[in-house]
Amino acid sequence: MSRGQDFKITYSTLGSSAAAVHDGFEQAVAAALAALGGSHSLWIGGRERQGAGEFEVRSPVDRRLLVGRFQVAGRGEVAAAIAAAGDAFEDWRRVPWPERLAILRRGADRISARRFELAALMSLEVGKTRFEALADAEEAADLIRYYCQQLEEAAGFERPMGRLADNERTRDVLRPYGVWAVISPFNFPVALAAGMAAGALVGGNTVVLKPASAAPASALELYRLLVEGGLPDGVLNLVTGAGGPVGEEVVTNPGVAGIVFTGSRAVGFELHRRFNAARPRPCHLELGGKNAALVTARADLDKAVEGVARSAFGFGGQKCSACSRVYVDRSLAEPFRARLVARMGELAVGDPRDREVFLGPVIDEAAVARYERAIAAARRDGRLLAGGERLTDGDRAHGCYVTPALVDGLPDGHELVTEELFLPILCLREVDSLAAALELANASDYGLTAGIFSEEPAEVETFFDRIEAGVAYANRASGATTGAWPGVNPFCGWKASGSTGKGGCGPYYVQQFLREQSRTVME
Ligand code: UN1
């Protein structure tokens, strides 16, 4: 539990009756609503700057709510941010690491202290429910703390090496590369921006942060809190706007030493290709998933139904960790289907500010259109067992509300089974054995998360051994495939899900932002 907190919300939290949680969130929402709609600048070198134009962010909860007006950074502003980060690098890398960690930990504590405000803002900006949003804020703080701890445990990544002669002495040091572009997604607007930025900052790199254009307000609040913690000017810079010009400048500007990106496969692959066209540079990608849950004949159905429902439909399936495929042993398929459909019927869809709501809106009209296309394909090529509607009654007419959907009977290799949808749509398929389930689960380009439900330890061991995924869970009712936490569940995408081979939330993250120098002296 974080310092000074009487409770802690994680993605595994099933709920809380603690009045402090609900009152804290609801008061913060009221305050956030009163403050919404302002105009915001870019932050470059510690100063506000205007961009090439302005864009509006409207809430997916209710399009009538203007979250704010933000600047569109053009290539010139992005170049200025890279230059400011480059200037700040020379001092920041020389700050003794214990001092750097103290600054970042103060930032983490500011985030914890303001978790309700951050959660309320995320709820309004991207449509998270209170528990999802509070967990996002808590995760941000814990990611920063965990990465600080890594540097500390490694004593700043400086160590003596062996010698070939008596008069020879070698030290090995990991040193920062320089300026990192951090490109963060809308779905964990505080946690992932904080985690990727902290990964770079702790070791002495500086950062240009470009948040998703759907979630600049959450990133701006994060920026403010980290600066309040004591980050010097230019160490962290914030550029908002469209991905195009930012990406173009980032991949071509020689002042960028590395990119760290969480988002779609198409964008990630393109960034990687372009960034490395002139010379190889580190480009850490955490991409999508088409994550499978396996329900064997030995499964506990209570755990399986709850775990799959939470992972498939939590935050509308808009997590790269979301469960989008479930392979169920034929012997349990009938009761599993019936119970899952019943459970889905209990999941309230609506305004995420409401306490009882489980599923808020999807992020925008484009997501609704994608949902409608996918549902049409599901009806055409399979059997739609539940869901499939857009909800437009009452106030829901003003937001992007769709019902959680379950599809059965799709042919193997169907696009709904292979493409990442980022929507509350789950594909179910009956299987005859664990071996068949594993084969189907692995027949995906992606390899991010996976889950199994089986009370038979040998089956769980087989699953861990054979599943092609960087994050594997067994019998997790709080989330079959979702809910990784810093220092608990390292989060590494295999195959087309990532490029690093060492994940966020894990013990080998920070080293990836550092390059090695051995220093040999003859005495
Ligand atoms: C993502 O969905 O982009 O494990 C990554 C989880 C979250 C995933 C974050 N920590 O569900």
Q: How far is the CA of 162 from the centre of ligand 1 (A)?
A: 41
Report the alpha-carbon distance of residue 264 to residue 286 in Å, rounded: 8
Please name the residue whose Cα sits nearest to atom 8 of ligand 1: 321
Looking at ligand 1, which atom is closest to the CA of residue 185? 3
Q: What's the CA angle centered on 275, arms 273 and 277, to 5 degrees?
A: 65
Q: Best mutation site among 320, 323, 449 for ligand 1, i.e. most ligand atoms within 8 A of its Cβ?
A: 320
152 and 254 co-located in one domain: yes
Q: pTM for the full model?
A: 0.97
280 and 312 co-located in one domain: no
Q: Best mutation site among 186, 285, 319, 421 for ligand 1, i.e. most ligand atoms within 8 A of its Cβ?
A: 319
305 and 231 co-located in one domain: no
pLDDT of residue 20: 86
Q: How far is the CA of 200 from the centre of ligand 1 (A)?
A: 19
Report the alpha-carbon distance of residue 33 to residue 77 in Å, rounded: 30
Q: Does the beta carbon of 370 sit less than 6 angstroms from any atom of ligand 1?
A: no
pLDDT score of 372 more than 90: yes
Q: Which helix (H) or strand (E) holds 453?
A: strand 449-453
CATH of the domain at 365: 3.40.309.10
pLDDT of residue 522: 97
Q: How far is the CA of 460 from the centre of ligand 1 (A)?
A: 22
247 and 310 co-located in one domain: no
- Boundaries of domain holding 390: 291-487
119 and 221 co-located in one domain: yes
Q: Does the beta carbon of 218 sit less than 6 angstroms from any atom of ligand 1?
A: no
Q: In one letter, which amino acid is 312?
A: A
211 and 232 co-located in one domain: yes
477 and 517 co-located in one domain: no
Q: Does any domain span residue 1?
A: no
Secondary structure of residue 107 in the 3-state scheme = helix
pLDDT in tens, 276-294: 998 999 999 999 999 999 9
Least confident of 21-25, 54-58, 61-65: 21-25
368 and 461 co-located in one domain: yes
pLDDT score of 487 more than 90: yes
Q: Does any domain span residue 502?
A: no
Q: Does the beta carbon of 320 sit less than 6 angstroms from any atom of ligand 1?
A: yes
Q: Does the beta carbon of 493 sit less than 6 angstroms from any atom of ligand 1?
A: no
Query: How many domains are there within the chain?
Result: 2
249 and 319 co-located in one domain: no
Looking at ligand 1, which atom is closest to the CA of residue 485? 10
Q: Does any domain span residue 198?
A: yes
pLDDT of residue 327: 98
Q: Does any domain span residue 435?
A: yes
376 and 395 co-located in one domain: yes
pLDDT band at 1 (very low <50, low <70, confident <90, very high): very low
Q: What is the mean pLDDT of the chain?
A: 96
| Percent of the chain clearing pLDDT 70 (strictly above) | 99
pLDDT score of 239 more than 50: yes
CATH of the domain at 120: 3.40.605.10
pLDDT in tens, 70-105: 999 999 999 999 999 999 999 999 999 999 999 999
pLDDT of residue 6: 66
Q: Does the beta carbon of 11 sit less than 6 angstroms from any atom of ligand 1?
A: yes
Q: Does any domain span residue 166?
A: no
Q: In one letter, which amino acid is 156?
A: G
Mean pLDDT of 189-205: 98
Q: How far is the CA of 188 from the centre of ligand 1 (A)?
A: 7
Residue 419, Cβ density class (10 Å: 0-12 exposed, 13-18 middle, ≥19 buried): middle
Q: Does the beta carbon of 486 sit less than 6 angstroms from any atom of ligand 1?
A: no
Q: How far is the CA of 495 from the centre of ligand 1 (A)?
A: 17
Q: Does any domain span residue 201?
A: yes
Least confident of 10-24, 67-81, 218-232, 390-404: 10-24
Please name the residue whose Cα sits nearest to atom 1 of ligand 1: 320
Percent helix, percent strand, percent coil in the chain, to nearest 5 = 40, 20, 35
Q: Best mutation site among 10, 192, 449, 491 for ligand 1, i.e. most ligand atoms within 8 A of its Cβ?
A: 491
pLDDT in tens, 291-319: 999 999 999 999 999 999 999 999 999 99
Q: Does the beta carbon of 186 sit less than 6 angstroms from any atom of ligand 1?
A: no
Mean pLDDT of 469-476: 98
The pairing of beta strand 168-176 with beta strand 158-160: antiparallel
Please name the residue whose Cα sits nearest to atom 6 of ligand 1: 483
* Catalytically active residues, by annotation: 286, 320
pLDDT in tens, 432-462: 999 999 999 999 999 999 999 999 999 999 9
Looking at ligand 1, which atom is closest to the CA of residue 319? 2
Q: Does any domain span residue 6?
A: no
Q: How far is the CA of 12 from the centre of ligand 1 (A)?
A: 12
Residues 426-441 as b/e (b if ≥16 CB within 10 A, e otherwise) read bbbbbbeebebbbebb
189 and 304 co-located in one domain: no
Q: Which residue has the tokens 């769709």?
A: 402
Q: At how many degrees (to 10) do helices 216-228 and 97-113 cross?
A: 130
pLDDT of residue 14: 63
Q: Does any domain span residue 10?
A: no
403 and 453 co-located in one domain: yes
Q: How far is the CA of 213 from the centre of ligand 1 (A)?
A: 19
Residue 94, Cβ density class (10 Å: 0-12 exposed, 13-18 middle, ≥19 buried): exposed
